Amino acid sequence: METTQQQAGQPATAERRRRELLEAADRVVLRDGPKASMNAIAAEAGITKPILYRHFGDKAGLYQALAVRHTDALLESLRAALDAPAERRRRVENTLDTYLAAIEARPQVYRFLMHPAEDSHAAERGFDVGLHSAPLLRRLGEELAKVIAERVDLGPGGDELARVWGHGIVGMMHAAGDWWLGERPCARAALVSGLTDLLWGRLGTAGNLAGGPGF
């Protein structure tokens, strides 16, 4: 029979093993992008595929775990850019640049998360890109909406408008970043400047909320 100490250590051991498997998956995704397979990830981790399934269920489960891992890291970076001491336009530019720099630095990870259907066998396995990538964008939109609502005085109906802006800005970043990453039509700095100009209408003139952290 297991001791109480052994039982207490089991969750920590399982979490450590799960983290190790996600790190192995990351290495394969960095190499193979959307074509990363469960077979390749299991081989990288030095285990059999049934063991990988035991931890994540299927590719969709693994995808979700990787999505949370990378979205958490991206949100932390975006919050740091938004909260850095600088005037408002510079912070907007830094936030846009942080997002674009992240997808530029790890394009295979980005494509795995946003374009897994590039794997021609994905549909055969019932892996629906829209079903899994849409929650990532919604989460980013909600997080940005909270930041806007906390920092910008939008007047009556401000919370609703903050959500409109949050999801709209994320949609813009995603669409523009996806296009830019695929075609590289201009320097990253030029894209950041252009997108900031696009945003710099009412956001540029709205006042900060009294007593709030400012934006």
Contact 136, 72 (CB under 8 A): no
pLDDT at 130 over 70: no
Three-state SS string over 11-32 comes to HHHHHHHHHHHHHHHHHHHHHH
Range picked from 5-14, 171-180, 197-206 for highest mean pLDDT = 171-180
**Which residues lie across from 152 on neighbouring strands?**
208
Which of the four pLDDT bands, split at 50, 70 and 90, describes residue 124?
A: very low
Six-digit token pair at 142? 């909600």
Question: Which of the two residues, 5 and 24, has the higher pLDDT score?
Answer: 24
φ/ψ of residue 208, rounded to 5: -80, 155
Six-digit token pair at 90? 């510079």
- Maximum CA extent, the chain: 68
Contact 104, 111 (CB under 8 A): no
Which pLDDT score, from 0 to 100, does residue 212 have? 65
Return the minimum-mean-pLDDT range out of 2-6, 108-112, 136-140: 2-6
**45-79 per-position pLDDT tens digit:** 999 988 888 888 888 888 888 888 888 888 889 88
Which of the four pLDDT bands, split at 50, 70 and 90, describes residue 4?
A: very low
pLDDT at 10 over 90: no
Return the minimum-mean-pLDDT range out of 95-104, 183-192, 201-210: 201-210
**64-122 per-position pLDDT tens digit:** 888 888 888 888 898 898 888 888 889 899 999 999 999 999 999 888 888 865 544 54
pLDDT at 6 over 50: no
Task: Give all domains of the chain, ordered by start, each with its CATH number.
Answer: 60-205 (1.10.357.10)
Which pLDDT score, from 0 to 100, does residue 98 have? 95
Q: Is 8 exposed, middle or buried (0-12, 13-18, 19+ CB in 10 A)?
A: exposed
Q: Is 121 exposed, middle or buried (0-12, 13-18, 19+ CB in 10 A)?
A: exposed
**Measured distance CA(168)–CA(214) in Å, rounded:** 21
**33-46 per-position pLDDT tens digit:** 888 888 999 999 99
**143-170 per-position pLDDT tens digit:** 889 988 888 888 899 999 999 999 999 9
Which pLDDT score, from 0 to 100, does residue 179 have? 96
Element (H, E) at 116: none
Which of the four pLDDT bands, split at 50, 70 and 90, describes residue 9?
A: low
Whole-number mean pLDDT of the chain?
A: 83
Which pLDDT score, from 0 to 100, does residue 161 have? 94
The alpha carbons of the chain give a radius of gyration, in whole angstroms, of 20
